[in-house]
């Protein structure tokens, strides 16, 4: 089956003084939840800001829904109606009330539903047992509650693509679990709904991730559907005396007085034949950490 993509980008580059984002090809699969994984400073936010039209000073070409260009993103209302975005910056003015945000969103977006907005605010327990409070000001909210407000706002719109920059970071464990639930509900709410979110720690979001893109030092260093990545890599554990034998074969390795543990490509497993090893399927978290470690300046 041919895979469709909601975003196709080529030759994306952005140069800073001490950092360069360089993405020769980027494709976001339609109908899935995709995680953009990378340590702080890997270039995740820069890439998202380019893809969402927040940053315009870049090289490259972008197409949305196999139909619109990056110029259309800012000039054709239908494109913006179809894309929802939440970022790490607080883009609500501090003195705005929740009621004013509701009113402004109704003006800006034809497909914004105030009733849904209020429902999501209550579902996310933004105001406690008292329920929806339109008089509450943004500057009176905690960072986690501000994130809930942004989520409620964007989920109250009828969109086809939801893009979120580090949505889980300010949330407590219970709310991170709720976020995963909301993402899956969004994916299942209509045909070809797509979610794209960034994170520097995939462990809390792994259960909802279908496709993963791993970034390091401004480049995409690995990507694929999670189940395919779990077949591509394998965890290997063994005895201390075999460390030097396996070191050239393992992708990365940690060791202790008792032995070693590392990841290698599944296709290289036969090179370890004859050694006393144990293998297991890696988690996406373990794959991500090891891929980032191999490509990081931090050793």
Q: Smallest Cα–Cα separation from 155: which of 195, 203, 215? A: 195
What end-to-end distance do the CA atoms of the chain give, in Å?
A: 40
Q: Is residue 64 domain-resident? A: yes
Q: Does residue 159 lie within any of the structural domains?
A: yes
Angle at 219 between CA 71 and CA 282, to 5 degrees: 120
Domain that holds residue 257: 229-295
What burial class does residue 129 get, using C-beta atoms within 10 Å of its C-beta: 0-12 exposed, 13-18 middle, 19+ buried?
exposed
| Residues 64 and 208 both lie in one domain | yes
256 CB burial (10 A radius; 0-12, 13-18, 19+): exposed
* Pair 154, 49 in one domain: yes
Please report, for the domain that includes residue 11, its CATH number: 3.40.50.300
Q: What is the predicted pLDDT for the residue at 96?
A: 92
Does residue 171 lie in a domain region? yes
**Do 240 and 212 reside in the same domain of the chain?**
no
Task: Give me the pLDDT at residue 47, please.
Answer: 96
Round to whole Å and give the CA distance between 250 and 253.
Answer: 6
**Are 140 and 235 members of one domain?**
no
pLDDT tens sequence for the chain (299 residues) = 578 999 999 999 999 988 999 999 999 999 999 999 998 888 999 999 999 999 989 999 999 999 999 899 888 988 989 999 998 877 788 899 999 999 999 999 999 999 999 999 998 988 888 788 899 999 998 888 999 999 999 999 999 999 999 999 888 889 999 999 999 999 999 888 999 999 988 888 999 999 999 999 999 999 999 999 999 999 999 999 999 999 999 988 888 888 999 999 999 999 998 899 999 999 999 999 999 988 876 65
Domain final residue pick, 217, 245, 277? 217
Which domain-ending residue is among 217, 252, 274? 217
**What CATH number does the domain containing 257 carry?**
3.30.70
pLDDT value at residue 263:
93
Q: Which single residue is written with the structure tokens 């694929």?
A: 224
Instruction: Tell me, yes or no, whether 254 lies in a domain.
Output: yes
Are 174 and 240 part of one and the same domain?
Answer: no
Pair 129, 152 in one domain: yes
Look at the chain and report how many structural domains it folds into.
2
163 Cα distance to chain centroid: 8
Q: Quick check: is 222 in a domain?
A: no
The dihedral region occupied by 65, where left means phi > 0, alpha psi between -120 and 50, and beta the remainder, is left
- Residue 228 and residue 75: Cα distance in Å, rounded? 38
Domain boundary among 160, 182, 217: 217
In a domain, 58, yes or no: yes
Question: pLDDT at position 297, please?
Answer: 65
- Tell me what pLDDT residue 299 has: 55
Using CA atoms, how far residue 177 sits from 41, 142, 188, in Å, is 25, 19, 17
Same-domain status, 234 and 288: yes
Residue 179, pLDDT score: 92
The answer to whether position 206 is within a domain reads: yes
Looking at the fold, whether 75 and 168 belong to one and the same domain comes out as yes
Please state the separation of Cα 212 from the chain's center in Å.
Answer: 8
Is 223 within the bounds of a domain?
A: no
pTM over cut 0.75: yes
Vertex 146 angle, CA 140 and 147, to 5°:
165
pLDDT score for 43: 92
Identify which of 216, 268, 272 has the alpha carbon closest to the alpha carbon of residue 36: 216
Same domain, 21 and 88: yes
Residues 179 and 56 in one domain: yes
Closest C-alpha to 51, from 190, 185, 227, 220: 220
pLDDT given for residue 169 in this prediction:
87
Instruction: Please tell me whether residues 107 and 253 are part of one structural domain.
Output: no
The reply to whether 175 and 256 lie within a common domain is: no
The residues near 263 (Cβ < 8 Å, ≥ 6 apart) are: 233, 234, 235, 236, 250, 251, 252, 282, 286, 287, 290
């Amino acid at each position: 089956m041919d895979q469709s993509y909601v975003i196709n980008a080529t030759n994306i580059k952005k140069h800073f003084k001490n950092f360069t984002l360089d993405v020769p090809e980027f494709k976001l699969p339609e109908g899935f939840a995709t995680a953009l994984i990378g340590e702080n400073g890997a270039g995740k936010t820069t890439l998202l800001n380019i893809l969402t039209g927040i940053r315009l000073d870049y090289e490259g070409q972008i197409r949305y829904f196999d139909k619109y260009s990056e110029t259309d993103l800012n000039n054709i209302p239908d494109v913006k109606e179809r894309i929802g975005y939440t970022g790490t910056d607080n883009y609500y003015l501090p003195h705005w009330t929740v009621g004013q945000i509701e009113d402004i969103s109704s003006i800006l977006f034809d497909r914004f539903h105030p009733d849904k907005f209020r429902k999501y605010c209550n579902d996310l327990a933004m105001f406690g047992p008292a329920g929806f409070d339109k008089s509450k000001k943004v500057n009176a909210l905690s960072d986690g509650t501000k994130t809930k407000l942004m989520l409620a706002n964007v989920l109250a719109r009828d969109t086809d693509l939801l893009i979120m920059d580090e949505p889980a970071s300010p949330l407590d464990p219970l709310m991170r679990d709720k976020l995963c639930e909301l993402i899956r509900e969004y994916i299942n709410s209509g045909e070809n709904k797509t979610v794209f979110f960034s994170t520097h720690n995939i462990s809390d979001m792994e259960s909802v991730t279908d496709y993963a893109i791993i970034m390091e030092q401004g480049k995409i260093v690995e990507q694929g559907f999670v189940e395919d990545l779990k077949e591509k890599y394998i965890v290997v554990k063994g005895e201390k005396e075999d460390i030097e034998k396996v070191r050239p074969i393992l992708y990365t390795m940690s060791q202790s007085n008792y032995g070693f543990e590392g990841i290698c490509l599944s296709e290289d497993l036969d090179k370890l034949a004859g050694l006393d090893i144990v293998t297991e399927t890696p988690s996406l978290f373990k794959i991500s950490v090891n891929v980032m470690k191999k490509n990081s300046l931090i050793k």
